[in-house]
């Protein structure tokens, strides 16, 4: 990479030390959304421990690092969280520069908090390197403003993972705010989520965007409504990774479409 010296000096402090773990976000998929310091760390790491959402294109920037995959693949269950943290600790104790690389941002539905906690407990030095969370990149790619004066004053990032199970988020309360919601990991639970949001007062015609594989090969998107989204996901074969955007901001897409991307 050709960076001017000033940028190089900025990203080289602090130095990636042997025996340290850097917990980093790789952004939504396309390498253009890597931060400068994460791109630099990929080139310097001895070992990269990565999830399924870190794209091949991003990993191809690694020069000499060993790559260790700890995500879900081919329907097999993912490596247990405890085993991942044990691995990170082991590698750090061997004196490696360990880059723990996750899709999006490590602290947004990325279990970065849990891993950092385990490293702190074991007295292993670590840093958190933020990444662009997928929701922001996906909204931008879809021409949907995350916030818009006159339309929204807040935006909720929620996980749909546990929708409908005891102790889950109060979706009806979220509906009452009237503010837009971006649902991560919600493809298989969107039926339940939509029902709860409508019970909470959101109109059934509320626009919903489904943004799949944003910035990745195979990127697709569609617009539906709260009433139709579950059936449309099924009919059009949308699958993870996808984000579901619910609220009036989605209708801005029409106004902004046709602009150069
Ligand atoms: N830490 C990540 C989120 C990990 S949870 C982040 O900040 O983005 C995994 C979920 O993120 C997926 O199920 C999907 O809902 C979402 N996701 C991640 N990358 C995505 C992408 N490129 N396009 C659409 N959704 C994505």
Cα–ligand 1 centroid distance for 226 (angstroms): 21
- Tokens at residue 247, please? 């609220």
Does residue 261 lie in a domain region? no
The pairing of strands 242-246 and 207-212 is antiparallel
User: Is-contact 18 97, C-beta < 8 A?
Assistant: yes
| 80, 157: one domain | no
pLDDT tens readout for residues 216-244: 999 999 999 999 999 999 999 999 999 99
Going by CA atoms, what residue is nearest to atom 13 of ligand 1?
A: 185
Q: In this structure, is residue 191 part of a structural domain?
A: yes
112 lines ligand 1 (CB under 6 A): no
What's the CATH code of the domain at 114?
Answer: 3.40.1010.10
Domain-embedded: residue 157: yes
Query: Do 19 and 41 belong to one domain?
Result: yes
Give per-residue pLDDT as tens, 21-51. 999 999 999 999 999 999 999 999 999 999 9
Residue 259's pLDDT band, with cuts at 50, 70 and 90, is: low
The reply to whether 214 and 121 lie within a common domain is no
Q: Whose CA is nearest to atom 3 of ligand 1?
A: 109
Question: What residues act catalytically?
Answer: 51, 72, 185
User: Which residues, including other chains, have CB under 8 Å from residue 127's CB and lie 6 or more apart?
Assistant: 14, 20, 22, 23
What pLDDT is stored for residue 258 in this prediction? 62
How is residue 85 written in tokens?
A: 């943290």
Whole-prediction pTM: 0.94
Report pLDDT digits (tens) over 134-179. 999 999 999 999 999 999 999 999 999 999 899 999 999 999 999 9
Neighbours of 90 (CB within 10 A): 11
Ligand 1 neighbour 92 (Cβ under 6 A): no
Number of structural domains, the chain?
A: 2
83, 106, 132 - which closes a domain: 132
Ligand 1 contact, 158 CB (< 6 A): no
Q: 28 in ligand 1 pocket by Cβ < 6 Å? A: yes
Summarised one tens digit per residue, pLDDT across range 55-111 is 999 999 998 999 999 987 666 777 888 999 999 999 999 999 999 999 999 999 999
């Amino acid at each position: 990479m050709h960076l001017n010296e000033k940028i190089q000096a900025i990203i080289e402090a602090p130095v990636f030390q042997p025996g340290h773990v850097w917990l980093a976000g790789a952004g939504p998929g396309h390498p253009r959304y890597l931060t400068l310091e994460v791109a630099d760390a990929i080139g310097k790491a001895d070992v990269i421990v990565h999830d399924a959402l870190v794209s091949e294109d991003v990993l191809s920037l690694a020069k000499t690092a060993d790559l260790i995959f700890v995500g879900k693949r081919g329907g097999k269950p993912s490596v247990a969280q405890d085993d991942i943290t044990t691995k990170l600790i082991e590698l750090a104790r061997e004196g490696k520069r360990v880059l723990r690389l996750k899709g999006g941002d490590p602290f947004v539905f990325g279990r970065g908090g849990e891993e950092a906690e385990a490293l702190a407990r074991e007295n292993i030095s670590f840093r958190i390197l933020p990444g662009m969370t997928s929701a922001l990149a996906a909204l931008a790619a879809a021409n949907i403003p995350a916030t818009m004066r006159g339309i929204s004053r807040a935006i909720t990032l929620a996980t749909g993972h546990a929708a409908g199970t005891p102790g889950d988020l109060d979706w009806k309360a979220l509906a009452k705010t009237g503010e837009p919601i971006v649902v991560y990991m919600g493809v298989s639970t969107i039926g339940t989520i939509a029902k709860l949001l409508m019970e909470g007062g959101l109109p059934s015609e509320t626009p919903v965007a489904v943004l799949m594989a944003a910035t990745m090969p195979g990127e697709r998107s569609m617009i539906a409504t709260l009433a139709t989204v579950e059936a449309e996901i099924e009919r059009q074969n949308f699958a993870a990774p996808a984000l579901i955007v619910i609220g009036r901001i989605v209708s801005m897409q029409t106004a902004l479409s046709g602009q150069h991307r």
